[in-house]
Structure 1
């Protein structure tokens, strides 16, 4: 991939960097500049480090200008490269949710969990070995913490729902939110119909629909005009997107409950539920995109969403077992 297609200027001193995870247009991180200082919000996996370093150079910046590395949560598509990048940025510290900081300092458990989800071959191709972060350079953050990049003030917002170790970054200068996974997934190639298509990433293992609804409602109390999604890019009209995401969270919950309706808890098995639910989620996506008159053919849609629907089904099955009585 040529450097020119790796990053895109979003205005407001913000650059969207395609991390190249699995395919183009799937996952991003954001370079935010104010004066002579830079923050990197999300990092992609370790395999994305060369792209990020090249983008910094393309902007006439140097690694020692990076002040903060800010993974919104510790899932590897957002934080897998954080330790390796910290080693490249001599003046940077890492800001991590208080529930996730230990995983950046001692990442063995995090890597093992991701291997279990993705499988060894797919994991190695996409993510690479994790690098432990220097504990002295890791700062645990909580709701309301504020940090400056140059003259720009960023605020940390605790946003459980996708994961309990998730925060969103509020940037008043752009009236923008850097949302990680809290504001859902919306791929550019599927947003060519009458309306954007957005869905919740219910990946294992901390999906909490009530908390997610509350997080979305709370974010919209801010004067937000745009959201910067890790999956993928800058989107405006966030109120409309949030309403669709609320609806899709409820739809996912209802689909999950349908697959176990009339069955006793002892009759369930993950191996049985997962493929059925994955197929229902894919059909839901196809139906939603058809309603929006998305011109992409079903085969392309299935290819684009296969990995997401597989992981979403895994997370919903895990939620069913945790939330249902024995």
Structure 2
């Protein structure tokens, strides 16, 4: 029998990590096409930080609790939810509510835990893998043999993009902020990691690719990187913007966009229609899950914190020295 209440993490106001405090709420009930997951672990992502700061409100109808990915056991099924049964170990992409002992998830974006992974490792997958798959392979159509430049190579997104692109036959470069991260990213499959504190990544990309440039650029930095990406891109290159750590309001000269026939695009995952996410989930299970089971792609876990220490976990994700994902251990 399920308990009536559960421990959750609430943001008592917009602000720093210290606004995250433990609270108590009723255990939710799954609706049509949903499953209820007893959460073993929840991944922490940059959108959680933005929501904590009051800059990224949840979409209409979503939980106000932080947390966009969870892993655990299915403990209840909503109407028309037929794929999983109680007791199945799963991980799921959700629109919110992950920082809790129980979380409702759409069955369409709930996937079995890949073979060989713990629940904590599985909790680090959904938000990151969905983001990389959609932006790098669907929107930017990265192909085997092409050059991919990943900004923020040491992040959860970055470490996933490096591994997945390498496993699918692309040649990967990454920008990082320390010599230690250079080694980490090259160990994950990057042909070259560029320490942006020590060298100009535009010049480095030209040198590494023998003047060709990056066919695809995945950028979460923004700011002055936006115009510099136009210089680093190959002819008919595709640049995908997924975040703006250095700001989104910039002045750029778009003549390079025209002259080099570049594509500049971007997306957010959370507000995508359910049917779009369901399609992504199917493609990811078919194309990515086997790579994880074979050990060619793995979640990189920086550190794990207890659920009640979500504030400590957010302090860690705010630390630029972290590499990979940070996870909340709920059970």
The answer, yes or no, to whether TM exceeds 0.5 is no
* Structure 1 or 2: more strand by fraction: 2
Question: Which of the pair is proportionally richer in helix?
Answer: 1
Q: Please give the TM-score of this superposition, normalised by the length of structure 1.
A: 0.30
